[in-house]
Structure 1
Amino acid sequence: MTGATILHLITMVVLITAATSQAPPTKYINHTVGDNAGWFFNSTTNTTATNYSSWAASQTFNLGDYLIFKTSSNQTVIQTYNLTTFKNCSIDDTSYTDTFVYNGGNTVFNQAFTIIVPLTIQGPNYFFSDASDGIQCQHGLAFDINVSRGLGLPPSPNQPPPPPYREPPGPDSAYPPIIFRPRERGQEIVDLKTGPACK
């Protein structure tokens, strides 16, 4: 191969790599779960409104993003970091540190509402409905995602602002100046190790 051919091949590899690599995220995203289909389950036919695993596979999730569940009180939204809980489609033996139940506070059956879930843990996140003793989850009302770092979590709105900037003190202000005064008549000389010594 000639030097020009090798240079041409290297240029092509660099261009293809640049074209296929994803650009880093520049903002946080709200993901509507299932897009227009929402988060629904038909209990008559035991079918979901869409394929939620396929929907999740088509998305990129990062810390600080939100999942928006447009649903009704017939479904639940369970978020867990525990794969066993997810596979069992049940929250019966879960801990309060790895599994969260979202219901929007709605207790009226068949009432429409929206549940907003922040993505705050990097790595695998699992979502499912445990309604109808897990039947909804077993028939597809479930999906898993992998949350990447992205921009990281945004700063907390409850966090106090940083203190105002102050110019650091100069080198001369670190210690007060040492002043020697001659001893006057009647003053004691104090030895720092042994205490008062003489007059």
Structure 2
Amino acid sequence: MALSRALFLFALIATIFSTMAVAKDFVVGDEKGWTVGVDYQVWAANKLFHLGDTLTFKYVAGKDSVVRVNGSDFQSCSVPWAAPVLGSGHDTVVLTTYGRRWYISGFANHCKNGQKLLITVVPSQQLPWSPVPSPSASPSPSPTPAPEAAPPSNAPWTTTVARRSLLSKKLFKMIHTNLIDV
């Protein structure tokens, strides 16, 4: 009994850390950053974005911003009234749902001059040795991609700091609970 709990705990920890290790951080525009004059569709064309990956937008704070919009606002370069605007100059966005994501600059004519990014986030594939059951074996329905023209949520964007702090607390609690009985 104790051995099976220890093995389960080990497999759980290995899965959590392997998922974290696989996630990638993409600096939008690479060394050029988030600026006018970069073709972000060419930049994104050879990249595969998965759940858990992050986009980092680097630019001069106060001289630009990042706004997540829907498809029609992306086409028209419109910043919705209630859309959250990021402006720190080093904004990190965690990709927590899959489907299409649209980002534009919120400054003057930057978007109309090409400063906009469209990506498609795909579900992460599970490793064959993963102890986590596949979605087909799960009794709950599998997630569906967000609709293309769905407006963005007005909730604050997820950051990597919040995700890691919650993971640490949950992991500590699980280890503590399972090792007490061993």
The TM-score bracket by the shorter chain reads 0.5 to 0.7
The TM-score, its normalising length taken from structure 2, stands at 0.58
CA distance in 1, matches of 2:177, 2:49: 35
Secondary structure class of the residue paired with 2:110: helix
Secondary structure class of the residue paired with 1:136: coil
Contact 1:26 1:151 in 2 (8 A): no
- The size of the alignment, in residue pairs, is 122
Residue 26 of structure 1, CA deviation: 6.4
1:77 corresponds in structure 2 to 66
CA distance in 1, matches of 2:164, 2:26: 21
2:124 corresponds in structure 1 to 150
Residue 151 of structure 1, CA deviation: 5.7
Contact 1:40 1:71 in 2 (8 A): yes
Q: Does 1:103 align with 2:87?
A: yes
Secondary structure class of the residue paired with 2:34: coil
Instruction: Name the amino acid aligned to 1:33.
Output: V
Counterpart among 86, 107, 129 of residue 74 in structure 2: 86
Contact 1:75 1:131 in 2 (8 A): yes
2:102 corresponds in structure 1 to 126
Equivalent residues in 2 for 1:166-177, closer than 5 Å = none
Q: Does 1:164 align with 2:170?
A: no
Q: Does 1:30 align with 2:25?
A: yes
Contact 1:127 1:143 in 2 (8 A): yes
Secondary structure class of the residue paired with 1:126: strand
2:114 corresponds in structure 1 to 140
Q: Hey, which bits of structure 1, 4+ residues long, moved more than 3 A? A: none
Instruction: Name the amino acid aligned to 2:68.
Output: Q
Where does structure 1 lack aligned partners over 5 or more consecutive residues? 1-24, 42-47, 105-112, 168-199
Go from structure 1 to structure 2 and tell me whether the alpha carbon gap of 1:89 and 1:148 turns closer, same or farther (over 3 Å shift): same
Secondary structure class of the residue paired with 2:22: coil
Identity of aligned residues (%): 26
Q: Does 1:63 align with 2:51?
A: yes
Q: Does 1:116 align with 2:116?
A: no
- The higher relative CO (CA closer than 8 Å, separation ≥ 6) is in 2
Where does structure 2 lack aligned partners over 5 or more consecutive residues? 1-19, 127-159
Q: Which structure carries more helix by proportion?
A: 2
Contact 1:27 1:151 in 2 (8 A): no
Instruction: Name the amino acid aligned to 1:89.
Output: C
1:171 corresponds in structure 2 to none
Contact 1:129 1:141 in 2 (8 A): yes
